[in-house]
Amino acid sequence: MVQEERVSKPNKGVAVTESSIVPSPTVQTAMPSPEQILADTEAAPKILDRLNIFPFDWRVETPRLMEIYESSRDPGWSPSKLPWDTLDVSKFTLDQRYAIAYWWTLLSVFDASGPAVFARAMIHAYEVHEEDAIRKCFFAVTRDEMNHEEVCGRAITMMTPNGPLGYEPETLLGKLARNNIEWLYHNGARYWTGYKKAVEHYPMPILFSSFLFGEVASSTLFHSMYESTDIPVFKEAFRNIGRDEGRHLSFCLALLKEILPRLSEEDKDIITKQFRAGFIFLSGILYEPPKEFWQLPDTFLPAQRLLEEKAREAGFNILTLEQRRENWRTAVVRLKTVVEPYGIKFPALPEVGIDGEDVAFDPDKIVPIF
């Protein structure tokens, strides 16, 4: 007997006939017995990859980190809600615009790299099965850094549409800014290559000590820029970014308070070296870029000096070199007082008049981040 075929249309345009349905692979006649199943179970293969996000657990070893994470869920501001309408770009000369965009581009090497850098750290924290609180805190910082990156982007593209590189500078100063920016990004790219290796190479206590340096630097920088700039929207941005960076600093301090007392002497020596590396990298914005890492032509600093002066003329008061040295020194002393009680030796930083250990510098393993 030929069975009548009923046609149903579960998906748009695809006709399925009942006779074409394959019977389900399991024919269930009675409820299975748990004892029987358990007797037949096999162990799942061990996950042998050194870096794998599976299996998961949600243990919390540092509850203070969870508290800070909780308070960071809503950073309380948004780049899109800053008073950008108060920024009348037409009031600035072309050179003033190039100069302000230039400073934000310099900042972008450190702060606009933040989302990618912290996201990478977050993935790494999953892969090495760090506690939930550490994963969460990296996520929170990634989120904040995305806001900081957005501010860099808005400032740069308002001052120089399609900036920092997608436009043709029309003045001498603009051309100098362009050349400097290309060199900055050349060094940013080298930093990223080193960072990717370093993040997998070092254990969390060392990574966090380096992050601590970045956060000390960034909170100091944004605080001083907040105080010195006369341009309202930038002042407001610096206030908010500075507060975020202060929270990142709290994350680092909360974790380090737990892990620094347990460090081996070898780890402590690596931290001393990483502090020197951090100082060299971060000096690129906090002070002046040292040659040990920064590959820059001889024209770089004179051009930067002209650009800074031009930005000051427009009310964007970048600190003078002397002010920067003092500021940087204060920040470094802050860091030194945090870590020295744990028996971590501080490196010599003669650039800002700090005595300490002489340590080698490896440009391939740079960790600090904003």
By CB under 5 A, name the binding residues for Fe ion: 111, 114, 145, 148, 245, 248, 370
How far CA 64 is from CA of 71, 111, 141, 177, 252, in Å, comes to: 11, 26, 16, 44, 11
Any idea of the CA torsion for 268, 274, 276, 278, to the nearest 10 degrees? -140
Q: Name the residue nearer to Fe ion (CB basis): 238 or 316.
A: 238
Buried b (16+ CB within 10 A) or exposed e, 341-361: ebebbbbebebbebebeebeb
Q: Name the residue nearer to Fe ion (CB basis): 282 or 339.
A: 282
CB of 346 within 8 A of CB of 353?
A: no
Shortest reach from residue 74's CB to Fe ion, in Å: 17
How far, in Å, CA of 258 to CA of 204, rounded? 12
Q: Name the residue nearer to Fe ion (CB basis): 132 or 145.
A: 145
- From 165, 209, 172, 168, select the one nearest 188 (Cα to Cα): 165
Beta-strand runs (E) in the chain = 7-11, 14-17
- From 180, 201, 166, 192, select the one nearest 298 (Cα to Cα): 180
Q: Name the residue nearer to Fe ion (CB basis): 246 or 315.
A: 246
Q: Name the residue nearer to Fe ion (CB basis): 82 or 303.
A: 82
Shortest reach from residue 118's CB to Fe ion, in Å: 8
Longest distance between any two alpha carbons in the chain, whole Å = 99
Residue 276 β-bridge partners: none
Shortest reach from residue 154's CB to Fe ion, in Å: 15
Q: Name the residue nearer to Fe ion (CB basis): 147 or 304.
A: 147
Shortest reach from residue 322's CB to Fe ion, in Å: 25
Q: Name the residue nearer to Fe ion (CB basis): 131 or 215.
A: 215
Task: Report, in this order, helix, strand and coil percent for the chain, each rounded to 5.
Answer: 65, 5, 35
Q: Name the residue nearer to Fe ion (CB basis): 248 or 276.
A: 248
Shortest reach from residue 111's CB to Fe ion, in Å: 4
Burial (CB count <10 Å: 0-12, 13-18, 19+), residue 322: exposed
Shortest reach from residue 114's CB to Fe ion, in Å: 5
- From 172, 143, 159, select the one nearest 75 (Cα to Cα): 143
Shortest reach from residue 165's CB to Fe ion, in Å: 22
Burial (CB count <10 Å: 0-12, 13-18, 19+), residue 23: exposed
CB of 147 within 8 A of CB of 79?
A: yes
Q: Name the residue nearer to Fe ion (CB basis): 223 or 268.
A: 223
How far, in Å, CA of 175 to CA of 158, rounded? 18
Shortest reach from residue 77's CB to Fe ion, in Å: 13
Shortest reach from residue 212's CB to Fe ion, in Å: 10
CB of 131 within 8 A of CB of 60?
A: yes
* Cα-Cα end-to-end distance for the chain: 77
Shortest reach from residue 202's CB to Fe ion, in Å: 18
Q: Name the residue nearer to Fe ion (CB basis): 130 or 145.
A: 145
